[in-house]
Structure 1
Amino acid sequence: MSTADLIVMADRVHTMTASRPVTAIAIADGVVTGLGERSGAREWRGPGTEVIELGAATVTPGLVDGHAHPVLGIGMTRGADLSGVRTLDELGAVLSSVRHEGWLEGWGLDPNVFGDRPLTSAPLPVDVPVFLLLFDAHSALVNQRALDLAGITGPREFPSGASIVCDAGGRPTGHLLEMDALTLVRDLLPADEPAARRRRLLGLMRQMAASGLTAANAMDFEDDSLELFRALEADGDLPMRWRCAPFVMPDTDVGEVLEKQRLHGRRWRVEGAKFMIDGTVDGGTAWLEEPDAHGESTACLWPDPAGYAAAVRVLAARGVPIVTHAIGDAGIRYVLDTLAELPRVSSVPHRVEHLETMPSGLVGRFRQLDVTASMQPTHCTHYTRADHSDNWSRRLGKVRADRGFRARDLRDSGARLALGSDWPIAPYDPRGIIAAARLRRPAGRPEVDPVLPGQALTARMALEGYTTQAAGAAGLGDRAGRLAPGYRADLTAFALDPLTADPDEFAESPVVLTVVAGSVVHRT
């Protein structure tokens, strides 16, 4: 074996294989070259070898976020962070305390703040234009000043399932649903300077690496994504790897998506195409087989679902992995039916994101079709409640809410299940997400009743969702997701063992080391 560039030693190493106990890892040229015990590590050393002794820490393969929005996210998270607001009084207090020039912006607003009251602009200030992005990023709340500036005076038709919510008299309420409607106001917001966007994106990546992430799936590659990734990589290696899937909307030129598949850098690449078959349950824009309690969520986001299927066929035939946001049962069924007709061209499996409510008959089809299920545990634990008193559950009703977020059923059926955050929709820290996947409630909140506790994952399943299952979802099962000779030298080290520690305690466990391609990107 060649001399190691880096040797990492710790009391516990979870290789995610059936190998013998390991306490030392040798790394050279960005890959793992040896596994063994501390006593034998001297054989790997050379004059330039760096040795890191972590003591009682636990090392795992590098964690991978299955679903995030880095570039869209740095634009979405402007203004006031409203994710902690729980009442309308709190909303008013936060907005009145925000210093701003011109527009008043906020993000992360939970519709449960409104309780049984209609979601309108009534609680918002009236003296300045206001744009508040709701937590799902599929809807926004704006005030009359913003509507006037955008020239919005009533309902409009859009090529997608977007809409401007209006009252019985046809007057806009300030609630905008889906991207085409949001864009009418969002395009008026002041733009960030390119240098500021580069700083924010790099800062985000460094913070993600410090939380233990070594890679993530970017579910967009729009706007200035290419310029940002190239500019950051021109200044040095990125703190983590990125695998990007550009959006495909009803009016998207599929040829442009194909062209983007050629783009890549040292630690990023475009591979895949991101579709949305529906919107959200909370906004009434999901695609359900039966209407929700408001008579909504009955339609596909595409004007004609056949248009989605046609675009999928074109891209899949060229070897592009298909990624589809599907939340409602009808949407999930249509996506699976579409994928079932595709020939397997790419080594990377197609995948479906979110999967919020579905009947048992759909669960087994993921393994049958070799389609990856991608889920975000904190969507369940942060925004729904065990007693079904939340907006999501009330809209669906008990039967459909009871078959929500079926992570354990998917794993037990043999499906591949990748876990992630959907940042900025929910926090990206994988420690809290792994804990939530096990607890079915927010980490650190033992007083909160778990939501459908029968869907809880085991500790190993939760860790696999960020390691072996994530690697399989990217078609990298033979070179990533495990610690073995010849595999990528991406690893994460925790002060506590994710397989044996109490989940609440693990969520607060320090990340002592993060290594990407054999390079230390974070160390305490």
Structure 2
Amino acid sequence: MTALLIRNARLWSAGFLAGDAVAIRDGRIAAIGDAAEISIRGADELDARGGLVTPGFVDAHLHLGIAAVDAVRCDVTGMAGITDVAARVREFAAASEAAWVVGGGWEPTLFPPSGPTASALDALVPDRPAFLLNVDHHGAWVNSAALRLAGIDATTPDPADGRIERLPDGTPSGMLHEGAAQLVARILPPPDLAALAGALARRSADLHAVGITGWQEAALGEYGGLPDFTAAYHRALGAGALRGRATGAIWVPRDLDEDGIDAFVAHCVQRREDNRAAGFPTGTAKLMLDGIVESRTAAVLAPYLDGGEGLSYFSPSIVERLIPALNAARIAVHVHAIGDRATRIALDGFARAAEPDRARVRNHIAHLQLIDPADIPRFSALGVTANVQPFWACETALMREQTLPALGRERVSRMYAFAALRDAGAALAMGSDWPVSSLDPWQGIAVGVTRRPAGEPDATPLGPAQALPLAVALEAYTRGSAVLLGLEGGGELRVGSPADLAIADRDPFGVPVEELAGTRNAATVLAGEIVFGG
């Protein structure tokens, strides 16, 4: 029997609670109130030092599997210059005897809009094929050996769901966008399962460090140079090495056609049952409808300023059959939609599902960079949760250099319409898309509240009318995401609920919003056990 008393706290759960203490016994909340009035025999004590105690954060869209893969490959995430990237790749290649050099995490802003070149990577890895995904994993930098092995040359057409960047003579340049990366990814050697499971467990400590106790692995399936992480999750969970309320979304393969829908739905149902038995709920399918603005692969209603309307990876007719079939089988749908056309296609698909079927699942659309104003009320009407990534909702160098020239100021000014969604009655959940962006919920919340880059109080806010109140953002990152993922306790502090808590180093409601980004997670409690800090 274990017991813990958290005292000297500001208690918050969709609003402030009376008292300054939480008592925990055997992994569940036993009492909430004043420390002087709570008695729990043999309890360890944790002093919150006046910090805010909230339900544990729940990240509704992250890629722990990608972080784990990066950890066992050539990881260049966060490197600030081309020289640093080159040094890391050269060093990794020299130390590795593997047949391929595989990795990623490079920032697109380090290179021209057309991306890096095969010749530049040839200079770093001249003796074998190399494949390096960018930080958002929507494109790959490959060398000449990789292009040759994949049979990609000037005569190779662009796939329907991607683009091969080319030199003036039509020769592939070495940059592959979206589905074009799969032309090389399909011949990559698979990662070692034991190493990947170990990396999953190790990287999960990063989640605990920022107060995350539950999450959704946003894509379980082979795509874009990444493996299916399901077996690694099973191994890590089975060994007791992976701690947290993990859920997952089963990848919808890009080559799915209307004739294959019934078989795919049956596949999802079987995987749901198999994964449930392994302690890994996966009652959700991940439907990626478009790409990203910067590569002109996000599906937009009005053309980009330099032409084209982006890519839609599935036809509306497939979406309007697939979503109802999944919902009828009690499989929720988690949609990736960046452009406003992709969002509309998704909402049209949800509208085709029978209302009783929609009501039994928790459908959601993630990212939502651009939404047509006419579509905003449809989220509430269709019971579709807006699964937003607030850390992006500010003007960054990437936005100035690549997004703004693609969309123009008017569309950029109305991106990430969080307040409009909330005012229209949409349920909000939040996530990070880590390792694409910061994992820390307080950094994301700070951006969602200020619409400025975290830690830049003097920056011009992006669409300030779309800023959220702190309480709304905090509720979305706790209760909103927990309800969306179906986690026990619903992301609330109440007697009898699982004792999953995050303890901040301050009361962020007591500081100016300009200082909100300075908030840090001081301790994390998972099932009554202190897994970080304390």
Q: Is contact 2:9-2:47 (8 Å) kept?
A: no
Equivalent residues, number = 511
Superposition pairs of residues 157-306 of structure 1, within 5 angstroms: 160-167=160-167, 169-178=169-178, 180-222=179-221, 223-236=227-240, 238-252=242-256, 253-262=264-273, 263-264=275-276, 268-302=280-314, 304-306=315-317
| One-letter code aligned to 1:70 | L
- Residue in 1 aligned with 2:508? 498
| One-letter code aligned to 1:251 | D
Give the 4+ runs in structure 1 shifted more than 6 A. none
1:22-53 Cα shifts (integer Å, max 9, x gaps): 211122343323211101112xx234x33333
Q: 2:381 aligns with which of 339, 346, 368?
A: 368
Q: 1:482 aligns with which of 480, 488, 492?
A: 492
Distance 1:266 1:82, change over 3 A: closer
Distance 1:320 1:155, change over 3 A: farther
Moved more, 451-460 or 375-384: 375-384
1:486 partner SS = coil
1:349 aligns with 2:346: no
- Residue in 1 aligned with 2:260? none
1:490-517 Cα shifts (integer Å, max 9, x gaps): 1111111233335565544443321122
Compute the TM-score of the two structures, normalised by the length of structure 1: 0.89
> Aligned equivalents of 2:193 and 2:115: distance in 1?
34
Q: Is contact 2:177-2:295 (8 Å) kept?
A: yes
> Aligned equivalents of 1:347 and 1:51: distance in 2?
41
- Residue in 2 aligned with 1:13? 11
- Residue in 2 aligned with 1:50? 44
Q: Is contact 2:320-2:348 (8 Å) kept?
A: no
Distance 1:141 1:429, change over 3 A: same
1:40 aligns with 2:41: no
> Aligned equivalents of 2:373 and 2:320: distance in 1?
24
Q: Is contact 1:358-1:400 (8 Å) kept?
A: no
Tell me how far 1:245 sits from its aligned partner. 0.7
Q: Is contact 2:413-2:462 (8 Å) kept?
A: no
Superposition pairs of residues 148-163 of structure 1, within 5 angstroms: 148-154=148-154, 156=156, 160-163=160-163
Moved more, 160-169 or 255-264: 160-169
> Aligned equivalents of 1:290 and 1:90: distance in 2?
39
| One-letter code aligned to 2:215 | A
Q: Is contact 1:359-1:403 (8 Å) kept?
A: no
Distance 1:294 1:82, change over 3 A: farther
> Aligned equivalents of 1:389 and 1:510: distance in 2?
29
| One-letter code aligned to 2:373 | S
Distance 1:415 1:457, change over 3 A: same
1:33 partner SS = strand
Distance 1:149 1:274, change over 3 A: same
Distance 1:149 1:383, change over 3 A: farther
Superposition pairs of residues 317-356 of structure 1, within 5 angstroms: 317-343=328-354, 344-345=356-357, 347-356=360-369
- Residue in 2 aligned with 1:119? 115
Compute the TM-score of the two structures, normalised by the length of structure 2: 0.87
Q: Is contact 2:142-2:174 (8 Å) kept?
A: yes
Q: Is contact 1:381-1:441 (8 Å) kept?
A: yes
| One-letter code aligned to 2:181 | L
Tell me how far 1:243 sits from its aligned partner. 1.3
1:273 partner SS = strand
> Aligned equivalents of 2:87 and 2:6: distance in 1?
49
> Aligned equivalents of 2:283 and 2:233: distance in 1?
15
1:255 partner SS = helix
> Aligned equivalents of 1:295 and 1:210: distance in 2?
44
Superposition pairs of residues 450-465 of structure 1, within 5 angstroms: 450-465=461-476
- Residue in 1 aligned with 2:147? 147
1:173 partner SS = strand
Distance 1:136 1:258, change over 3 A: same
> Aligned equivalents of 2:494 and 2:480: distance in 1?
16
> Aligned equivalents of 1:423 and 1:433: distance in 2?
11
Moved more, 323-332 or 8-17: 8-17
CA RMSD of aligned residues (A): 2.8
Tell me how far 1:444 sits from its aligned partner. 2.3
1:266-323 Cα shifts (integer Å, max 9, x gaps): 7631121000111111121111112212323433112x33122222221111111111
> Aligned equivalents of 1:70 and 1:106: distance in 2?
15
Q: Is contact 2:504-2:519 (8 Å) kept?
A: yes
Distance 1:163 1:376, change over 3 A: same
Tell me how far 1:422 sits from its aligned partner. 0.6
Q: Is contact 1:250-1:308 (8 Å) kept?
A: no
> Aligned equivalents of 2:229 and 2:462: distance in 1?
37
Q: Is contact 1:70-1:201 (8 Å) kept?
A: yes
> Aligned equivalents of 1:4 and 1:85: distance in 2?
46
Distance 1:299 1:402, change over 3 A: same
Tell me how far 1:104 sits from its aligned partner. 4.7
> Aligned equivalents of 2:517 and 2:386: distance in 1?
24
> Aligned equivalents of 2:130 and 2:310: distance in 1?
30
Gap regions ≥5 residues in structure 2: 222-226, 257-263
- Residue in 2 aligned with 1:435? 446
> Aligned equivalents of 2:401 and 2:376: distance in 1?
25
Q: Is contact 1:72-1:220 (8 Å) kept?
A: no
> Aligned equivalents of 1:93 and 1:294: distance in 2?
35
- Residue in 2 aligned with 1:70? 64
1:191-230 Cα shifts (integer Å, max 9, x gaps): 4333321221111111211111011111122345332222
Q: Is contact 2:388-2:428 (8 Å) kept?
A: yes
- Residue in 2 aligned with 1:405? 416
Which structure shows the higher helix fraction?
Answer: 2
Distance 1:157 1:518, change over 3 A: farther
Q: Is contact 1:326-1:354 (8 Å) kept?
A: yes
- Residue in 2 aligned with 1:22? 19
Q: Is contact 1:33-1:485 (8 Å) kept?
A: yes
> Aligned equivalents of 2:145 and 2:515: distance in 1?
46
Tell me how far 1:242 sits from its aligned partner. 0.9
| One-letter code aligned to 1:41 | I
Distance 1:508 1:294, change over 3 A: same
Distance 1:248 1:503, change over 3 A: same
> Aligned equivalents of 2:272 and 2:201: distance in 1?
23
1:412-463 Cα shifts (integer Å, max 9, x gaps): 2221111111112112122221222223232223454332233222211221
